[in-house]
Amino acid sequence: MMDRSYKELLKMRRFPHTWCPGCGIGSVLKNVAMVMKELGWSDKDTVAVSGIGCSGRMSGYMNLDAVHTPHGRALTAAETIKTVRPDLNVVVLSGDGDLGSIGGNHLLHTYRRNPDITVFCNDNEIYGLTGGQAGPTTPQGTKTITSPRGEPYLPLRFGRILTQQAPYFYARTTVYHLNHFKTCIREALSWKGFSFVDVISDCIELNGRRLGFKTAHQMFKWFDERFHVVEGVRDHLQEDELGIAKREVEEVSKPKEEVKVEVAVAAEQLKPFTLDELQTFDGTEGKPIYTAYKGKVYDLSKSPLFQGEKRMRCHIAGKDLTQDIDVAPHGEDLIFKFPLVGRLV
């Protein structure tokens, strides 16, 4: 027999719930509760946070201490609760309009600060509660009541934004691919750090019917056509892929180029310059900017401070700068950054 103990985590006394028949939110709520129960989470150690919208009502049906924030502020609230009470598991249950549009700034910065919270985004590509207006994730060309000729702009792609800066955990799944959905929930809840589960969900009443679907099941079939599950750990997901993209640390950037090139070159091989010759390379008439330092000549043409002018604030092109550098507030390392082109004779 099926294990129904997850119902302890739901406020069954408040059922039937407020959502329309066929809505995907119920599936999100139920599956999150099931996995939480599996992991042994209870009302003593777990807090649910929601924003506003149909999906924002989810926290109110959880049998936990729940916080129902103003529109878009769920992430900030969740992050703060985790800061003050690190012993609590904090879960955000919200939607695409709440997290991506009005809470977009908080999404970027909470992701950047990487608190140990898990976000479930009921991504139904529409503002359902207010009557079916275009949302941030509404695909381009979709007709809604606020885009009667088709949504003119490209949608916000959580999958691209949230996989740019490690550490990150981004999972895309749908309410139709149930096994995959549960795997994503399980992995996200176990991830240490900010994890985001983008649950592609349906809004049959205020989006699906306008798109020509007759039942929620037809929309699920449509999800099956649009997306396919990919296995294994990935860095990024394509737009038609369901899976998990995660990375713990940023890729190590390329090793810095050797700064002290001058050591390698023998002094005799360098082109000799006299002080008079050097003076002609002052950056005028398209000539390069050369300056001398401790008997060597450097090409400062790329220096942003000269900018093609003969003189910057303190130094003059075409001169021996040995004494200047000694009294300058910066060290000689600044001049070693530039290519060595000759020696002073």
Partner 1 sequence: MKQLISGNDAIFEGAFRAGATYFAGYPISPTSEILQRAALRSEEDPKFHFLQAEDEIAAAIATISASLAGAKAFTATSGPGFSLMQEALGWGHVVEAPCVFVNSMRVGPSTGMPTQPAQSDLLQIKAGSAGDYYPIAFYPHSVEECFRLTVTAFNAAEESLSPVILLADAFLSHLYELVDLEKIKTEIVARSKGPLGKGQRLFTGTAHDKIGNVKTSDPVIYREWLAELKDRHFRVAEKYPLFDYLPCKDSNILLIAFGITSRIISALKERFSIFRPIRIYPVLEKELKEVTQSYPRIIVIEGSDGQYASWVEWAIGRKVMKVPCLGGGFKLKWIQSQIEDRLRGEGR
Kindly tell me which residue out of 12, 21, 109, 295 binds partner 1, with binding defined by CB under 8 A. 109
Q: State how far the alpha carbon of 264 is from the alpha carbons of 69, 270, 333, in Å.
A: 63, 11, 17
3-state secondary structure of 16: coil
Strands 340-344 and 296-299: antiparallel
Residues 62-81, one symbol each (x = binds partner 1 by CB under 8 A, - = not), give -xxxxxxxx--x--xxxxxx
Residues in 24-53 at the binding interface with partner 1, rule: CB under 8 A: 43-47
Would you say 85 or 310 has its CB closer to partner 1? 85
83 is an interface residue for partner 1 by CB under 8 A: yes
What value, to the nearest 5°, has the Cα angle with vertex 80 and ends 57 and 86?
Answer: 105
**Which residue, 47 or 300, has its beta carbon nearer to partner 1?**
47
What does the DSSP 8-state code read for residue 185?
H
Decide if residue 16 touches partner 1 (CB under 8 A).
no
Nearer to partner 1, 83 or 165 (CB): 83
To the nearest whole angstrom, how small is the minimum distance from the Cβ of residue 55 to partner 1?
14
- CA 309, CA 284: separation in Å to the nearest integer? 7
- When binding is defined by CB under 8 A, the residue of 5, 12, 14, 294 that contacts partner 1 is 14
- Burial (CB < 10 A; 0-12, 13-18, 19+), residue 168, is buried
- What is the closest distance, in whole angstroms, from the C-beta atom of residue 116 to partner 1 in the complex? 14
| Contact present, 197 and 189 (Cβ < 8 Å) | no
Contacts of 214 (CB under 8 A, 6+ apart): none
SS3 320: strand
Which residue, 81 or 289, has its beta carbon nearer to partner 1? 81
Smaller CB distance to partner 1: residue 70 or 339?
70
- 11 lines the binding site for partner 1 (CB under 8 A): yes
CA distances from 319 to 75, 128, 153, 292, 301 (A): 58, 71, 56, 6, 14
* Residue 161 sits in the site that holds partner 1 (CB under 8 A): no
> Side-chain half-sphere of 247: how many Cα atoms within 13 Å?
14
Q: In angstroms, what is the minimal distance from the CB of 165 to partner 1?
A: 15
Cβ proximity to partner 1: between 11 and 210 the closer is 11
Give residues 85-104 in contact with partner 1 (rule: CB under 8 A): 85, 87-88
In the complex, minimum distance from the CB of residue 196 to partner 1, in angstroms, rounded to a whole number: 17
Rule CB under 8 A: say whether 20 interacts with partner 1.
no
Of the pair 165, 280, the CB lying nearest partner 1 is at 165
What is the maximal distance between C-alpha atoms in the chain?
Answer: 96
Binding site for partner 1 (CB under 8 A): 11, 14, 43-47, 57, 59-60, 63-70, 73, 76-81, 83-85, 87-88, 105-106, 108-109
